[in-house]
């Protein structure tokens, strides 16, 4: 399980809002959607191959995940395990 603290204004970059269309946040797809897309297409791949995609998605969403966070997420994608992220709004 990961943890991230973000400003309230960053929430649309992290989470997908079902009522908004693609790119409604002004930053392309949300990190949540990018994660789901990677989970659907990269299961079984080594985490080291998944991390760069997660890093790119995090950078585009302006989210400060650590390398350890991204590797943990990549391990979940690789194995098909659910990943839980705790969000603290500041």
As a 3-state breakdown, the chain gives helix, strand, coil percent values, each rounded to 5, of 50, 10, 40
As averages over each run of 10 residues, the pLDDT of the chain (90 residues) reads 88 75 59 96 98 96 93 97 92
- pTM of the predicted structure, to 2 decimals: 0.84
Determine if residue 26 is left, alpha or beta; phi over 0 gives left, psi from -120 to 50 gives alpha, anything else beta.
left
Residue 76 lies in a domain: yes
In a domain, 69, yes or no: yes
What is the number of H-type helices and E-type strands within the chain? 4, 2
Q: 40: which 2 tokens?
A: 């659907």
Residue 10 domain-assigned (yes or no): yes
Q: Is residue 21 part of a domain?
A: no
Is residue 4 within 8 Å of residue 87, measured between CB atoms?
A: yes
Supply the range of the domain harboring residue 65: 2-14+28-89
80 domain residue, yes or no: yes
| pLDDT in the model for residue 2 | 85
Instruction: Determine, yes or no, domain membership for 22.
Output: no
Task: Count how many domains the chain has.
Answer: 1
């Amino acid at each position: 399980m990961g943890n991230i603290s973000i400003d309230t204004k960053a929430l649309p970059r992290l989470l997908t809002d079902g009522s908004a269309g693609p790119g409604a946040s002004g930053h392309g797809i949300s990190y949540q959607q990018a994660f789901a897309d990677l989970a659907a297409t990269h299961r079984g791949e080594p985490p080291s191959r998944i991390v760069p995609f997660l890093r790119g998605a995090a950078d585009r969403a302006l989210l400060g995940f650590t390398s350890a966070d991204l590797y943990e997420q990549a391990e979940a994608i690789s194995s098909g395990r659910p990943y839980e992220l705790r969000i603290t709004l500041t």
